[in-house]
Amino acid sequence: MAAYTKPLPAISTLNQRYWEGLKQRRMVLPYCEACDSVWYPPTPFCPDCWSRDFRWQAVSGRGVVNSWVVFHQAYFSSFKDDIPYSVAEVELEEGPRLLTNLVEVANEDIAIGMPVEVVFDDVTDEVTLAKFRPRKG
């Protein structure tokens, strides 16, 4: 595996299950046992009802593009070879929204509401990132 030069996530006890799930090719998020909420980013309590009674549950990995931007300038030198690249807010079918990169789609073809699905990018031996591509089928 080639050396990865871009910033890596800060993995903590709070988000470790999320990153472990991605490494296993699964997207898992906190699920509240009290009110059925699913959320991201991980917090130690449900942001809807404040319950601390939650479990980590697999989610579909499907969603839609809610918003996006195309970067034409490298604010970090490690991204200079990717210019222009997109960063999107994807709303998962289960509700949470997350920031991610879109892959396998031309920047000019991105649209609000575009159905997408997660793909797993092993950037190091320890870290897998969730990126999204247009949904197949």
Instruction: Please state the domain extents for the chain.
Output: 10-59, 60-137
The larger pLDDT score, comparing residue 131 to residue 76, is at: 131
CATH architecture of structural domain 60-137: Beta Barrel (2.40)
The pLDDT assigned to 1 comes to 64
The pTM of this model reads 0.93
Distance, in Å, from the CA atom of 122 to the CA atom of 26, rounded to the nearest integer, reads: 13
Contact 110, 133 (CB under 8 A): no
Burial class (CB within 10 angstroms; exposed 0-12, middle 13-18, buried 19+) of 65? buried
Checking if the pLDDT of 137 tops 80, the result is no
Distance, in Å, from the CA atom of 63 to the CA atom of 69, rounded to the nearest integer, reads: 17
Distance, in Å, from the CA atom of 24 to the CA atom of 95, rounded to the nearest integer, reads: 22
Distance, in Å, from the CA atom of 29 to the CA atom of 27, rounded to the nearest integer, reads: 7
- pLDDT tens across 14-67, in order? 999 999 999 999 999 999 999 999 999 999 999 999 999 999 999 999 999 999
